């Protein structure tokens, strides 16, 4: 557990994504194993908190180790450039590799410490419910289509009946005309 400064964005149900982790810098020149150098070198990566006992006591020349607050929502820098950068000439310095130890797990979905997104049950549940909803919607869509299909069938049948009726009526008209003509012809005889 660690304490953090209060901020206006504080939400009691969420954990801040800023947490302490160990940053290891193997091969850092021994004369740079001091708090002042460390602060300068790592200020772009996070907030330096404290040097570990060996770094503070300068008893482990191979590596410097520091406790730092980092933002777990951002990708952690794999290296930093140590040296001078000039506008008109190439930079003079070297790239220092950074390694991390004990990075706390942080879930970007729940915004909580203790597990990461891959292990998140809440997200798993959400994805499952979403998939079910999509399935339900497509089923609904299908039944709707079936219903409109039936309606279309019905309409087609009515249209066909109308056509048949029209043909019959036309036939009847022809028949009456024919009969009338016959009558006239008979009269003329």
Binding interface with Zn ion (CB under 5 A): 107, 109-110, 120, 122
Closer of 19 and 107 to Zn ion (Cβ): 107
Question: Which C-beta is closer to Zn ion: that of 125 or that of 144?
Answer: 125
Nearer to Zn ion, 110 or 113 (CB): 110
Q: Which is nearer to Zn ion, 50 or 128 (CB)?
A: 128
CB of 109 to Zn ion, least distance (A): 4
DSSP letter at 120? -
Min dist. Cβ of residue 112 to Zn ion (A): 6
**Least Cβ distance, residue 104 to Zn ion (angstroms):** 14
Half-sphere exposure of 89 (CA within 13 A, CB side): 3
- Residue 22: CB minimum distance to Zn ion, A: 24
d(CA 138, CA 167): 43
What's the token pair of residue 11? 């939400």
Question: Please, are residues 132 and 79 in contact by the beta-carbon 8 Å criterion?
Answer: no
**Long-range contacts of 2-11, Cβ-Cβ distance < 8 Å, separation of 24 or more:** none
């Amino acid at each position: 557990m660690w304490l953090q400064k209060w901020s206006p964005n504080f939400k009691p149900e969420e954990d801040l994504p800023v947490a302490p982790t160990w940053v290891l810098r193997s091969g850092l020149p021994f004369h740079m194993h001091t708090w002042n150098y460390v602060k300068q070198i790592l200020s772009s990566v996070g907030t330096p908190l404290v040097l570990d006992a060996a770094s503070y006591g300068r008893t482990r020349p191979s590596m410097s180790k520091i406790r730092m607050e980092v933002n777990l929502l951002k990708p952690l820098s794999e290296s930093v450039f140590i040296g001078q950068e000039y506008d008109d000439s190439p930079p003079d310095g070297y790239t220092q590799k950074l390694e991390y130890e004990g990075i706390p797990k942080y879930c970007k979905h729940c915004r909580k410490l203790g597990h990461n997104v891959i292990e998140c049950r809440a997200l798993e549940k959400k994805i499952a419910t979403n998939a079910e909803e999509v399935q339900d919607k497509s089923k609904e869509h299908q039944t709707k289509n079936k219903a409109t299909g039936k309606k279309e069938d019905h309409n087609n049948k009515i249209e066909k009946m109308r056509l048949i009726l029209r043909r019959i009526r036309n036939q009847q008209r022809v028949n009456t005309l024919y009969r009338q003509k016959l009558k006239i012809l008979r009269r003329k005889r």
